[in-house]
Structure 1
């Protein structure tokens, strides 16, 4: 009876030393996957650069109606108290809705938002017409419909419109 537990312990001990070796595709010239990488146009030197912002190609999105309506139960239109943030590397973004306060705020701040390269998240959007109105208030800015509850919880905010940058949260 005592042999079985001893064998189990030995197997567990040996298993910890039996680790799979990581294989990098296209790492050697005789790699069989190399022709496939060349056929797909993948480059061996392509590497993500952490100091550069990566943007999704949204030109292929043609119909966003399936996302709508977007509701963010943790957020509502209203004033916010500006405060400092310490989030180095955060690209500026803003939260808006389809309400009159958000549309007015967007019209007033559109030029500044465009100059700083801020992206927009529409956190309250009823339908495609509402999304069109939001985007028309700030032409040239990327504004996507997204649920903002997680952002609201993490940044401890209750209201929008709001601009969030690496150094501040402001209206």
Structure 2
């Protein structure tokens, strides 16, 4: 009896080591996986051009009507006090709404915003026509409708329009 329980003990002890090693499809392409995975791999391009500013027009990828209207209860049009920030690596972006002040600000600073590669977040937008008015004030700049409450809380701001860069927060 003791002999059987001792054998069972050793079997249970060694059982985890008897399992074959797991292989993830794609680690070592075999004849079976090669035709399925080779076509889906996208080439990786690690070459970057840091001196060249690029604008990505994300608005062309999807219909944005489903997200509208956008309301940001922590933000409103108004004056802000400029201040310095220390956020290395942060890409410039700005917050605007569909109000005369924001559209005038966008129109005045469009060239500067475009040159620095800033992306825009429309934090108060009622409908597609309002979003079109905002975008018309700064053609060629990506402006997406987004709720700005989290950004407002994290950066401790209450008003827009505002430009946020790695080193400053300004109007």
Please report how far the alpha carbon of residue 75 of structure 1 lies from its aligned counterpart in structure 2 after TM superposition. Answer: 0.3
Aligned to 1:112: 112
Unmatched segments (≥5 aa) in structure 1 = 1-20
CA distance in 1, matches of 2:167, 2:142: 21
Q: How does 1:33-48 map to 2 (within 5 A)?
A: 33-40=33-40, 42-43=41-42, 46=44
Aligned to 2:28: 28
SS of residue matched to 2:112: helix
Aligned to 1:91: 91
TM-score, structure 1 normalization: 0.76
Instruction: Tell me the number of residue pairs that the alignment of Structure 1 and Structure 2 aligns.
Output: 149
CA distance in 2, matches of 1:57, 1:38: 28
CA RMSD of the aligned region, Å? 2.9
CA distance in 2, matches of 1:79, 1:137: 20
Distance 1:88 1:126, change over 3 A: same
Contact 1:97–1:122 (Cα < 8 Å) also in 2: yes
Q: Which has the larger radius of gyration?
A: 2
TM-score, structure 2 normalization: 0.76
Unmatched segments (≥5 aa) in structure 2 = 1-20
Distance 1:149 1:85, change over 3 A: same
Q: How does 1:1-171 map to 2 (within 5 A)?
A: 25-30=25-30, 32-40=32-40, 42-43=41-42, 46=44, 57-61=58-62, 63-171=63-171
